[in-house]
Structure 1
């Protein structure tokens, strides 16, 4: 059995500076088949760096306080999630969640993922604009040794680094 206090889990900064407080609870607990992260998002901050999917993992977000907004690749499927509500994204479903810039309060939320306690970077894909292709297409994502993200276009192979 493992037990931790959320406040005792060290906050890990995001390489893209999209939020200040993310506490990797599953890492502190030593889980192997389940991911759990605690977030505090000030207005304008997001859970991730943009529209992305995990091909190998479903994600569930539970909002404890505040209101989170989630956009998807299908613009009509955007959703707001209030305190006490949860939302699920299937593997392969593009999403990005954030606290709106005009919000009056911080969002406190948990992100859960399964299977797996850590990301398989080969199974994450971000939907971004490719300067070479001239369109928004899926880009493979990898973490560099320097802690930045390298995105590679799935259509033409053009790469660029963020962070």
Structure 2
């Protein structure tokens, strides 16, 4: 049994600096089969920083307060999620979410199976610097804690 207060979990920021508060609760609780991250997003901040999918993990987002807009699929259909609402993404479903309101949004990102991403199963959709269009990019985390993206079409890599 493990117990923790949110106030006691350290903030761990995204390398893209897209949110002020992200607390990896699952790391502190020692979960191995379930990911749980607490977020406080100021207006305009995002959960992840870009359209992506986890081929190996489904995700559920719960908004305690505020609101968030999620862009879903390669077509980026917009879905508004309000206070006390949830949204689920199946493995392989592209999504990104951000605080689209005027107030702070407080919420949770939950994922299963596994408490951490398998980087080989994470794919981001970004503009390829060689192809000149949006393509799928393999996404890895470097030893320096930055994202390395490699175009699945042409193999061009760059680091953010």
User: TM-score scaled by structure 1?
Assistant: 0.95
Aligned in 2, Cα 1:95/1:76: closer, same or farther, shift over 3 Å?
closer
Gapped runs of 5+ residues in structure 1?
none
Residues 50-79 of structure 1: CA deviation (Å, up to 9, x unaligned): 000000000000000001100023446320
Q: Would you say 1:151 and 2:149 are equivalent positions?
A: yes
The CA RMSD measured in Å over matched residues stands at: 1.0
Q: Which residue pairs with 1:16 in the alignment?
A: 16
Partners of 2:45 and 2:86 in 1: CA distance: 19
What is the total number of aligned residue pairs between the two structures?
160
CA distance in 2, matches of 1:5, 1:50: 29
1:61 & 1:117 partners in 2: Cα distance?
Answer: 15
Give the structure 1 partner of residue 129 of structure 2: 131
Q: What SS does structure 2 have at the residue aligned with 1:78?
A: strand
Distance 1:59 1:76 in 2: 17
1:46 is aligned to 2:82 = no
**Aligned position for 2:138:** 140
Counterpart of 2:34?
34
Q: How far apart, in 2, do the equivalents of 1:82 and 1:21 lie?
A: 19
Relative to structure 1, is the Cα distance of residues 97 and 76 closer, same or farther in structure 2, using a 3 angstrom cutoff?
Answer: closer
Cα shift readout 1:66-118 (whole Å, capped 9, x = no counterpart): 01100023446320000010000000100000012xx2210000000000001
CA–CA distance in structure 1, aligned partners of residues 35 and 26 of structure 2:
5
CA–CA separation in structure 2 for the residues paired with 1:121 and 1:51: 15
Question: Aligned with 2:120: secondary structure?
Answer: helix
- Note the residue ranges of structure 2 that are not aligned, 5 or more in a row: none
CA distance in 2, matches of 1:76, 1:136: 12
CA distance in 2, matches of 1:10, 1:133: 39
Q: For residues 119 and 39 of structure 1, what CA distance do their matches in structure 2 show?
A: 17
